[in-house]
């Protein structure tokens, strides 16, 4: 029964700016009804709460929904949007919609992790699935099968609603051993559904898992989850772009997480393994070399005849393999049924011989796969991300901690991107590789991962004019390389005050030189870089006509 309040109680709550806590049980949501949840209330899910066919749930930006711990029916708070129902959870960057456990999230405490404190969000639809029974549907994992847990059908354009700027935190309650709920579970969800700007934070199982369906996902953040960040099953055939994963080096138990785990149809009679899945511009950061658990941490695992194309992506800091291909996946890869184009792999352990690719039970040979891997333009090179420091920052990155996943000033990921598919209006073309534009602000700054200092912004994104700008400011550096003194050959359209900022390859401002008043035309001030250690640096000339930049190498 829904919790009710007297008018006097509601008046007091409003007067003191407090949010009413409204308990929602399964009986409170019915099919063929419309419900509106607003941000002046906190909605607490008591057990499994199903929105049945024909039902519509509208959730206002800034609303908080909490899953309660186990009730008398051994159920934890979980929201299930069944096949035929719709959810419209449309938050904003300023006012995201938050799903969490009933514990209070302390955004200032980076170790405040309550994995598995409630269930998660499950959306079921009517699109095709690769593992369907003779009736054309399947039952979603994690909860006991019944009519309301069935998903799948023949409507690939099915519309289950909108999830936009939604943060799902601390879910994944283990119903039984190895039977947890994912942060966001999508079963047979169709392409008419909109899912973008989603965060899954510290779920005990996978971050996002697709079971078949055709739904797309753009702008995803999965951080500190207990298992895989992105998991696809039952021949999901959707598209993805701008996917980010950050794993927890302090994790001491649970599964062996992959950045992406991708299954085909899992049907032994289906030799094709289902359609090709396509992802552009992912950045997956593993647990790092100092992780509490060693091994079993692949960037990508592709199995069960799956075919998934990852393009223009960055994979780094994984303590096992770059790509593990199993059960026919390698055969599909060397047959050019899917691509791994123009990706960067770095600081990945591989096997005892350093091989970054693992094959298991495939006809294709490691040599053949490795040749195709290299031919596809994949680089084993440092992506030089702006910062990779797993210690959370407490002051926005000024302490040197946190991860800034954007390519740094000298990163090879700033170029080398493959073209997006022609005529496909979902994918955006980029010149850079990875999930983040190196010359733009961090699009993930709305997330809890950012609030807790796991993700930070360190780069000065305005320093993108190399050598000259449209207002006639020009700068050259000589000698380059240098051991100490450099002359800045500066051309200016008019007199101006100027200074030179020195940044290291991680985007940290480490020195500043006041150049004083410079004249119109040619100027040649000298600065001394002799106190810098050997390495690559970035000189930014600031004037009233804008900033221009040049690289300089210090060699001693």
**Average pLDDT for residues 159-180, to the nearest whole number?**
88
The pTM (predicted TM-score) of the whole model is 0.85
Q: Please tell me the distance from the alpha carbon of residue 57 to that of residue 91, in angstroms, as a whole number.
A: 14
Q: Per-residue pLDDT for 207 more than 60?
A: yes
- Retrieve residue 138's tokens: 């399947």
Query: In the structure, what pLDDT confidence band is assigned to residue 104 with cuts at 50, 70 and 90?
Result: low
Query: In the structure, what pLDDT confidence band is assigned to residue 536 with cuts at 50, 70 and 90?
Result: confident
Neighbouring C-beta atoms of residue 237, cutoff 10 Å: 22
3-state secondary structure of 240: strand
- Retrieve residue 325's tokens: 């291909």
Task: Name the CA dihedral angle for 444, 448, 450, 453, rounded to a multiple of 10 degrees.
Answer: -160
- Retrieve residue 287's tokens: 């647990």
pLDDT of residue 167: 98
Contact at 8 Å (CB) between 478 and 552? Answer: no
In sequence order, the β-bridge partners of residue 100 are 66
DSSP-derived secondary structure for 243-264 = EEEE--TT--SS----SEEEE-
In sequence order, the β-bridge partners of residue 128 are none
Q: Per-residue pLDDT for 144 more than 90?
A: no
Using CA atoms, how far residue 90 sits from 20, 210, 355, in Å, is: 21, 21, 45
Q: Per-residue pLDDT for 456 more than 50?
A: yes
Percent of the chain with pLDDT over 70: 88
3-state secondary structure of 342: coil
pLDDT of residue 134: 53
pLDDT of residue 359: 87
Query: In the structure, what pLDDT confidence band is assigned to residue 353 with cuts at 50, 70 and 90?
Result: low
**Average pLDDT for residues 279-288, to the nearest whole number?**
95
Any idea which of 35-49, 127-141, 162-176, 335-349 has the lowest mean pLDDT?
127-141
pLDDT of residue 5: 44
In sequence order, the β-bridge partners of residue 198 are 166, 220
**Average pLDDT for residues 139-156, to the nearest whole number?**
91
Query: In the structure, what pLDDT confidence band is assigned to residue 255 with cuts at 50, 70 and 90?
Result: low
Give all strands (DSSP E) within 430-518, no chain letters: 474-478, 485-492, 496-504, 509-518
pLDDT of residue 535: 87
The CATH code of the domain at 474-554 is: 2.60.40.2550
**Average pLDDT for residues 66-74, to the nearest whole number?**
89
Break the chain into its structural domains and give their ranges.
Answer: 7-451, 474-554
In sequence order, the β-bridge partners of residue 220 are 198, 243
In sequence order, the β-bridge partners of residue 405 are none
Name which residue leads in pLDDT, 506 or 99: 99
**Average pLDDT for residues 191-214, to the nearest whole number?**
96
Query: In the structure, what pLDDT confidence band is assigned to residue 1 with cuts at 50, 70 and 90?
Result: very low
3-state secondary structure of 494: coil
Q: Please tell me the distance from the alpha carbon of residue 29 to that of residue 27, in angstroms, as a whole number.
A: 6
Q: Per-residue pLDDT for 418 more than 90?
A: yes
Q: Please tell me the distance from the alpha carbon of residue 149 to that of residue 166, in angstroms, as a whole number.
A: 23
**Average pLDDT for residues 75-98, to the nearest whole number?**
97
Contact at 8 Å (CB) between 147 and 192? Answer: no
Q: Per-residue pLDDT for 155 more than 70?
A: yes
**What's phi and psi for 376, nearest 5 deg?**
-75, 5
pLDDT of residue 113: 64
DSSP-derived secondary structure for 382-400 = ---EEEEE-SPPSSTTTTS
318-349 pLDDT, tens per residue? 988 999 998 888 989 999 999 999 999 999 98
Q: Please tell me the distance from the alpha carbon of residue 236 to that of residue 231, in angstroms, as a whole number.
A: 10
Query: In the structure, what pLDDT confidence band is assigned to residue 143 with cuts at 50, 70 and 90?
Result: confident
Q: What is the mean pLDDT of the chain?
A: 88
Contact at 8 Å (CB) between 357 and 380? Answer: no
Q: Per-residue pLDDT for 3 more than 60?
A: no
pLDDT of residue 361: 63
**Average pLDDT for residues 15-37, to the nearest whole number?**
88
Can you tell me which residue has the tokens 């020009």? 474
Helices (H), ranges, 231-377: 329-334, 366-375
Give the per-residue SS3 of 78-116.
EEEECCCCEEEEECCCCCCEEEEECCCCCCCCCCCCCCC
| Nearest residue to 267 via CA among 327, 324, 214 | 327
Residues 6+ apart with CB under 8 A from 234: 129, 130, 131, 132, 138, 210, 211, 212, 263, 265, 266, 274
Any idea which of 110-114, 208-212, 367-371 has the lowest mean pLDDT?
110-114
pLDDT of residue 462: 55
pLDDT of residue 197: 98
Contact at 8 Å (CB) between 49 and 17? Answer: no
The CATH code of the domain at 7-451 is: 2.160.20
DSSP type of residue 28: G
369-399 pLDDT, tens per residue? 989 999 999 999 999 898 899 999 988 887 8
Task: Name the CA dihedral angle for 404, 222, 277, 81, rounded to a multiple of 10 degrees.
Answer: -150
pLDDT of residue 4: 42
**What's phi and psi for 406, nearest 5 deg?**
-80, 145
């Amino acid at each position: 029964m829904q919790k009710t309040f007297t008018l006097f109680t509601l008046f007091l709550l409003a007067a003191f700016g407090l949010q009413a806590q409204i308990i929602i049980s399964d009986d409170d949501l019915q099919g063929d009804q419309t419900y509106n949840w607003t941000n002046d209330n906190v909605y607490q899910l008591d057990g499994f709460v199903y929105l049945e066919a024909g039902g519509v749930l509208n959730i206002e930006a800034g609303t908080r929904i909490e899953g309660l711990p186990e009730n008398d029916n051994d159920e934890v708070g979980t929201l299930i949007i069944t096949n035929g129902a719709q959810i419209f959870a449309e938050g904003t960057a300023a006012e995201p919609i938050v799903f969490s456990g009933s514990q209070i999230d302390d955004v200032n405490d980076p170790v405040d992790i309550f994995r598995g404190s409630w269930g998660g969000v499950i959306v079921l639809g009517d699109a095709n699935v690769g593992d369907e029974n003779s009736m054309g549907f399947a039952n979603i994992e994690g909860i006991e099968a019944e009519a309301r847990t069935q998903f799948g059908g023949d409507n690939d354009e099915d519309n289950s609603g909108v999830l936009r700027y939604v943060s799902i935190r601390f879910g994944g309650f283990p119903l039984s051993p190895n039977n947890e709920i994912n942060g966001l579970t999508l079963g047979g969800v169709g392409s008419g559904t909109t899912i973008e700007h989603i965060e899954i934070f510290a779920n005990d199982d996978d971050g996002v898992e697709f079971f078949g369906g055709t739904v797309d996902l753009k702008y995803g953040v999965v951080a500190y989850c207990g298992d895989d960040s992105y998991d696809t099953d039952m021949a999901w055939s959707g598209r993805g772009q701008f996917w980010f994963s950050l794993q927890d080096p302090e994790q001491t138990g649970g599964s062996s997480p992959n950045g992406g785990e991708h299954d085909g149809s899992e049907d032994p009679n289906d030799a094709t393994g289902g359609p090709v899945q396509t992802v552009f511009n992912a950045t997956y950061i593993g647990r790092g070399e100092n992780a509490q658990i060693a091994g079993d941490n692949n960037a990508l695992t592709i199995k069960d005849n799956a075919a998934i194309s990852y393009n223009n992506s960055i994979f780094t800091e994984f303590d096992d393999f770059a790509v593990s291909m199993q059960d026919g996946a390698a055969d599909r890869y060397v047959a050019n049924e899917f691509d791994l184009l123009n990706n960067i792999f770095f600081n990945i352990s591989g096997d005892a011989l350093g091989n970054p690719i693992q094959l298991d039970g495939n006809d294709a040979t490691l040599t053949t796969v490795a040749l195709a891997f290299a031919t596809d333009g994949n680089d084993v090179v440092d992506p030089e991300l702006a910062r990779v420091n797993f210690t959370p920052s407490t002051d926005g990155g000024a302490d040197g901690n946190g991860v800034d996943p954007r390519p740094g000033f000298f990163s090879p990921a700033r170029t080398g991107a493959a073209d997006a598919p022609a005529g496909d209006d979902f994918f955006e073309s980029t010149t850079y590789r990875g999930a983040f534009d190196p010359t733009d602000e961090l699009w993930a700054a709305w997330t809890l991962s950012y609030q807790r200092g796991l993700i930070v912004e360190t780069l000065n994104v305005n320093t993108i004019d190399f050598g000259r700008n449209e207002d006639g400011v020009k700068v050259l550096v000589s000698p380059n390389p240098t051991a100490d003194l450099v002359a800045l050959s500066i051309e200016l359209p008019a007199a101006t005050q100027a200074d030179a900022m020195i940044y290291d390859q991680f985007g940290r401002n480490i020195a500043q030189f006041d150049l004083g008043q410079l004249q119109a035309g040619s100027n040649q001030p000298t600065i001394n870089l002799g106190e810098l250690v050997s390495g690559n640096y970035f000189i930014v000339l600031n004037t009233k006509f804008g900033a221009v930049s040049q690289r300089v190498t210090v060699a001693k």
